[in-house]
Structure 1
Amino acid sequence: MKVLITGATGMIGQELVKVLHQHNVKVNYLSTSKDKLIYTDNYRGYYWNPANNEIDINAFEGVSVIYHLAGATVAKRWTSSYKKEILDSRIIPTRLLVSTLQNNPNQVTQIISASAIGIYPDSLGAIYNEDNKGVDDSFLGEVVQKWESEVDAFKQINILVTKIRIGIVLSDQGGALPKMVTPIKYGVGAPFGSGKQYQSWIHIEDLANIFYYAQVGELNGIYNAVAPHPVTNANLIREIAKVLNRPLWLPTIPKFIMKMMLGEMHILLFSSQSVSALKILNQGYQFKFATIEKALTNLLK
């Protein structure tokens, strides 16, 4: 079995490669950096430059499944030029993959694409499942909607499309968790705003395993990749402090302060999305880290 990954050298990609190798799956990957190209028996890198419409078609040799994880991080100040980069980094590579498969013989039967729960509207009361048609009226909502629409183009060339809407990824290797941990370690941690906003999270091991589960089960359509028990921001901060055995004495951090510091990107901290994991559970997936206590204990102790 051989797969192709875009974004293989990122935090999620590295964890997915680990899972795939545990199951004796060979991995080809596409990278825009020639310095990151490795060539071994089970892990082979190929160069692409989507902006210039360049791609090494040898990357597709023997590949039956594509994992599409490539995309610029949203955790960086959203200037107008960077917002364009966020969108382009999802749209342009997707179009290049579609056109390459359209115009070259291949054995690809499924694409499993990253997506995000940021598509769901900000709400303190709603519980969102994959059938929800609403789209958040933020930049992030726009990005996810356009991103998913581009991925649907693979259906036109008879490829099974699986979209994995990812929640807040908890990892000790990067992402949101280390940024939340640092102020708490130094005794200056506090919830954001009211702290009542729901944050649907997932341990990085479960996320990588859900991607692989989608391949093995040939899952079709959209699946939320979130743990079964979302938490409020206040509860998340409290649980981190509890695991670290650190006090929380500051009041909440006002929204206007974070807006001044982060600009439009501050919505990442204040948006509330309580997202259901029921669909993937009904497919038989069993979470290794179903509760925030278990996930944080694993990552922080």
Structure 2
Amino acid sequence: MSRKVLITGGTGLIGTRLAEMLIDAGYEVAILSRHPSQSRYRSFRWDPAAGTIDETAVPYADYIINLAGSSVSDGKWTHERKRDILTSRLQGTSLIARELAKGNQHVRTFLSASAIGVYGDTGDQLVNENTPPASADDFLVDVSQQWEKAGQQVQALGIRTVLMRIGIVLSTEGGALVPLARTVKMMAGAPLGSGKQYMSWIHLDDLCRLFIQALEEPQWQGTYNAVAPNPVTNQEFTETLAEVMHRPLVLPKVPAFGLKLMMGEMSEIVLGSQRVSAEKVLRQGFRFEYPVLKEALESFYAEKE
């Protein structure tokens, strides 16, 4: 049985690690890229903004994993940047849906990224996949909701579709952990804002294993939270990180207004509170290698100290 996976966003933080783990698990991997020559994998050219794609790309695949979209944490959210964050997700997803609708393909499963941003700021309320959507006047809520709608176009074609609402991904290769660890290392670490806001996180390797399990088991369908089962407050996160890195926390809390000055609207990412349940993926039989924050952080920093 053919096991060919086509990944959009295959050169990003998640895509890079996921491609490695898929190869280790015996899959063939190809990626969609605007610059195909730069990939170590077989790659097909596409340009979502122009609506163009190599017509042999989708017919190649048994499975498609859709991770394409510009990073929400690279640079301030200017008007252009926000437009790019939104359109890069919608155009790529819609282009794949358009190709799948042509029918000259044998894709069994479509896995698409979404984000826990879909819930908005929910304080300390535990939210799950059945929690009604937040109002879309918040930028991250709007992006996540439109992204999921674009993914549902594929579900409407009768292809098994899994939407993963991804939490804060922990990795030393990129994402939110890198700047947080840097400030702790420089002994300038401090909880952000009130420190009481919840962070729903997941170790990069657990996230990739979750994708692979959802790919392999036909009972996965619909929306899932891709978060570890033990969300923590920002203060707990910062304290655990300092402990694992053997650094004292010397500063009082970083005030919210200071973060807003530095980061603009992007401060929503660290100031918003999202306490997200992992119950549904646990019920599907997924086992986390890193269910607890301290072990997850030690996997990155323990040996290096």
Q: CA deviation at 1:105?
A: 0.3
Q: Which residue of 1 aligns with 2:121?
A: 122
Counterparts in 2 of 1:110-149, with a 5 A limit? 110-135=109-134, 137-149=137-149
Aligned-partner SS, 2:156: helix
Which residue is 2:81 aligned to? 82
Q: Distance in 2 between matches of 1:258 and 1:280?
A: 33
Moved more, 96-105 or 137-146: 96-105
> Does 1:266 find its partner at 2:264?
no
Residue 15 of structure 1 corresponds to which residue in structure 2?
Answer: 17
Do 2:124 and 2:198's aligned partners in 1 also have CA atoms closer than 8 Å?
no
The letter for the 1-side match of 2:255 is P
Match of 1:192 in 2: 192
Cα distance in 2 between the residues matched to 1:194 and 1:56: 49
Instruction: Look up the match of 2:29.
Output: 27
Question: Where has structure 1 moved over 2 Å in runs of 4 or more?
Answer: none
Q: 1:101-145 CA deviation, whole Å, 9 max, x = no partner?
A: 222500012110000001113122210111111225410000000
Aligned pairs for 1:106-255 within 5 A? 106-135=105-134, 137-218=137-218, 219-255=220-256
Aligned pairs for 1:257-296 within 5 A: 257-296=258-297
* Pairwise CA distance, 1:61: 3.5
Report the equivalent of 2:91. 92
Give unpaired runs (5+ residues) of structure 1: none
Work out which of the residue numbers 43, 50, 53 in structure 2 matches 1:52: 50
Query: Deviation string for 1:244-264 (max 9, x for gaps)?
Result: 111112110011111111111
Give the alignment's Cα RMSD to 1 decimal: 1.1
Gaps of 5+ in 2: none
Counterpart residue number, 2:66 = 68
**Partner SS for 2:206:** helix
Contact 1:37 1:46 (8 Å CA) reproduced? no
Give the deviation of 1:37 after TM superposition: 3.8
Give the stretch that moved more between structures: 10-19 or 286-295.
Answer: 10-19
Q: Could you tell me whether the CA contact under 8 Å between 1:192 and 1:255 is conserved in 2?
A: yes
For normalisation by structure 2, the TM-score amounts to: 0.95
Aligned-partner Cα distance in 1 for 2:38–2:45 = 9
Q: What residue identity is the alignment partner of 1:49?
A: D
CA pair 63-35 structure 1, distance change in 2 beyond 3 A: closer
Paired with 1:173 and 1:19, the residues of 2 have a C-alpha distance of: 16
Tell me if the contact between 2:124 and 2:197 (Cα under 8 Å) persists in the aligned partners: no
TM-superposition CA deviations, 1:192-246 (whole Å, max 9, x none): 1110000000000000000011111121000101000000000000001001111
- Report the 3-state secondary structure (helix = DSSP H, G, I; strand = E; otherwise coil) of the residue aligned with 1:253: coil
Aligned residues: 297
**Maintained 8 Å contact 2:62/2:106:** yes
Identity of aligned residues (%): 41
SS of residue paired to 2:49: helix
Distance 2:66 2:36 in 1: 19
Matched to 2:192, the amino acid is F
134-143 or 24-33: which moved more? Answer: 134-143
Read off the aligned partner of 2:45 and give its amino acid letter.
Y
- Aligned to 2:110, what secondary structure does the other structure show? strand
Which amino acid in the other structure matches residue 262 of structure 1?
M
Cα distance in 1 between the residues matched to 2:231 and 2:191: 16
Q: Distance in 2 between matches of 1:133 and 1:291?
A: 27
Q: If the length of structure 1 is used for normalisation, what is the TM-score?
A: 0.96
Greater Cα shift, 124-133 or 138-147:
124-133
The answer for the alignment partner of 2:7 in structure 1 is: 5
The code of the aligned residue for 1:252 comes to K
Helix, strand or coil at the partner of 1:157:
coil
Which amino acid is the alignment partner of residue 46 of structure 1? F
TM-fit CA distance, 1:54: 1.3
